[in-house]
Every structure is written in C-alpha cells, then in structure tokens.
Amino acid sequence: MTLDIEIDDLHLRYGELTALDDVRLRLDGGKIHGLIGRNGAGKSSLLAILAAFRKPTSGTVRIGGQPVFENPEITHQVCLVRSTGDTVEDDDKVEEALRFAERLRPAWDAELAARLVDRFHIPLRHAIGKLSLGQRCALGVTIGLATRAPVTMFDESHLGMDAPSRYAFYDELLADFMAHPRTFVVSTHLIDEVSPLFEEVTILDRGRILVHEPLDTLLARGTAVTGPAAAVDRFVDGFDVLAEKRLGGTRSAMVYAAFDEGRRRWAAEAGLELGPLSLQDLFVHLTQPTEPAEPAGSTSAAEEDA
C-alpha cells in the first residue's frame, strides 16, 4: 500500500520562533523522498508533525487523505525514526525493543529485523543505553525498516553510523523499497551519499519550502563545465559560477544554469565536458540566495565539508 502525504498552509511556532511557515507540499506515495535543509530549517519539526509527534500551530496534514494527529487509522501506518532512535527506552534490551515493536506494529517483519540486527552487529542482549552511537542508530533504522509502515521516515537516523554500515543501510532501504513499495522520506545532511536513492527532493529553508522537484529536474538546474582553463573562462562568462576547481591548465566550474542545445554544441566544439552538478553543491547554492556568487578560485562549502 502506498499513501500520499498532503500538507497545506502548515505553520508551527515555538513561542516567538516560527519553525514552519506556510508549508504547502504534496509527496506522492510509493517514492523515496529526500528532505534536506540547513540546521534549523524545520526538517525535524515537519517530520514530527507528519508522525503526529507534534501538533501544528495551524494548517492541515493528511496522509492517505486522512488527518494524521490522533488518528489511529493513520498513526499505525506511519513510522518516524528520529536521530538515534530516541524513542526507544534506554533501559530495555535490544531484543525487548524489537518485541515491543512487533507487538504494536501490524506489518512487522521479524525475519528482516533479525537479519538486519545480524548485518549491523547489534548485540541483542545489551541494554540500548549501553550501545555505541553507531549501534543505536543501526537499531533505529532496523526498527524503521522492519516496521514496514506504509509511510516510513528517517530523520538523520543514519548519521551516527560508520560508512560501511551507512552503505548497508542504503542497500537495505532500496532493496526493501523495491520488494515492498511504500513512501519513504529521508532527511539527511549526507546529501551526496544518499541522493542517488531519491526520486523527489524537497529543500526546506528557514521554515519554508524552497524547492520541491524530481531529483533529475533539480540536478538539471546546474552544470559542471570542465576543460582547458581559458575555454572554460570564456564559456562561463556571465553565468552564475557557484565554485570552481583548478588543476594545472584544467578548470572545472560549477555553473547554476541549464544550457540549451546551441551552447552544448559550442562546448563540444571547444573541447569542454559538461556534467551534472552534485545535489549538495546545488543545495549549498540554493540555501544561500541572498549572498552573491562566490568569486572564481574559491571553494564551495560542500568541498570544505568533504
């Protein structure tokens, strides 16, 4: 079963602070959605509302056409795993947390849970509070996947896992999505690592929806131009250059522009290579709209992060 998510005129305020401001969004069922944004953009608040962890100040949220908050018909079909899986009880053992989930989740897949616990090397008999950060995150994603909820959301759940475990998580998520199509929403700061999974991407910025597009459409907004430095300089002149790299006489410029056929021909004739930008580079650019494009020779924030 796949369920659509519809959000209309959503506002959330914490006292004087506006966390979400007039959010309007439709996330189609049966897709893996990426939700990205800078710290404090409102991602966790939005997901908390979708999972009925929090009531919005105003506005409507519907899943499968029904309101979410305090609606057991829907809440049982939604699963949000938040950061380190912080809604499990620290004193419980891992096996108790799994039994607890099995008792409450109608579509629980115990076989998958057992396999993932084994794959992530999570000790079943250890108290959850004594697990390492990575093991705790792995337990969170294990519960999230094995729940098989029609709407499953991960809010930075994999951030504390080591790289091999994160890649195992991506594999498992994709495999399980293919075998049991449902609606996934993944919020992350590890954008380039996870973005190949996304079908649609939503960028939140300061509590508002900045972008909501299919990943391919979004990536087509930018182009990496690589080739002899002088040719690249001429080619990108007048365009919004987000960042660049130089190696000897070769220059690679990241440009916020989609080139038409004529310009692409020019690039080919000039021996330039055109490629897609990374989602992370686009994200960095899009969430700094008030700042001028960085001067040539600078390094993008994404590169600095890396």
Partner 1 sequence: MTPRTRTIAGFPVPGLLAFIGLIGVGYFVVVMLATVGIATWGDVSTSTWEQGTELARLFALFWVVWLIPTYLAPYVAHGVTRREFVASTVVFVVAEAALLAALVTAGYLVERLVFEAADWPHVLTDDHAFGSPTHAATVFVSYGLTFLVWASVGAMVTAGFYRHEGGWGLVALPVGILLLVPSDLAVDSGGPPFLEAFLDLGGGRLGLALLLCLPSAALALAGAWALLRDVPIRSKTPAA
Structure tokens, 106: 């109608």
Per-residue interface string for the shown chain with partner 1, residues 191-230, x marking contact by CB under 8 A: ----------------------------------------
Choice from 60, 104, 171, 234 touching partner 1 (CB under 8 A) = 104
Query: What's the CA gap between 183 and 187, in Å, rounded?
Result: 13
Q: Which is nearer to partner 1, 122 or 128 (CB)?
A: 128
Site string for partner 1, 162-191 (x = CB under 8 A): -------------------------x-x--
Nearest distance, CB of residue 293 and partner 1, angstroms: 27
The residues near 132 (Cβ < 8 Å, ≥ 6 apart) are none
Angle at which helix 133-146 crosses helix 163-179, to 10 degrees, equals 0
Residue closer to partner 1, measured from CB, 108 or 120: 108
Stretch that binds partner 1, among 79-87, 193-201, 215-223, 283-291 (CB under 8 A): 79-87
Nearest CA to 116 out of 79, 158, 62 is that of 158
CA atoms within 13 A on the CB side of 30: 4
What are the CA-CA distances from residue 304 to residues 80, 166, 276, 284, 300 (Å)? 31, 21, 20, 11, 6
Rounded to a whole number of angstroms, the distance between the first and last alpha carbons of the chain is: 38
Taking the complex as a whole, the smallest distance from the CB of residue 118 to partner 1 amounts, in Å, to 23
CA distance 86 to 235: 50
Binding mask 126-165 for partner 1 (x = CB under 8 A): ---------------------x-x-----xx--x------
Please state the closest distance from residue 238 (CB atom) to partner 1, in A: 37
Binding partner 1 (rule: CB under 8 A), the pick from 87, 252, 288, 298 is 87
C-alpha to C-alpha distance for 78 and 151, rounded to whole angstroms: 5
Q: Which stretch binds partner 1 (CB under 8 A): 104-112, 117-125, 232-240, 279-287?
A: 104-112
Of 5, 32, 88, 191, the one binding partner 1 by CB under 8 A = 88
CB 77 to partner 1: min, Å: 7
How many Cα atoms sit within 13 Å of 118 on the Cβ side? 6
Binding track over 34-73 against partner 1, x by CB under 8 A: -----xx--xxx--x--xxxxx-------------xxxx-
Q: Give residues in contact with partner 1 (CB under 8 A).
A: 39-40, 43-45, 48, 51-55, 69-72, 75-80, 82-84, 86-89, 96, 100-101, 103-106, 147, 149, 155-156, 159, 187, 189
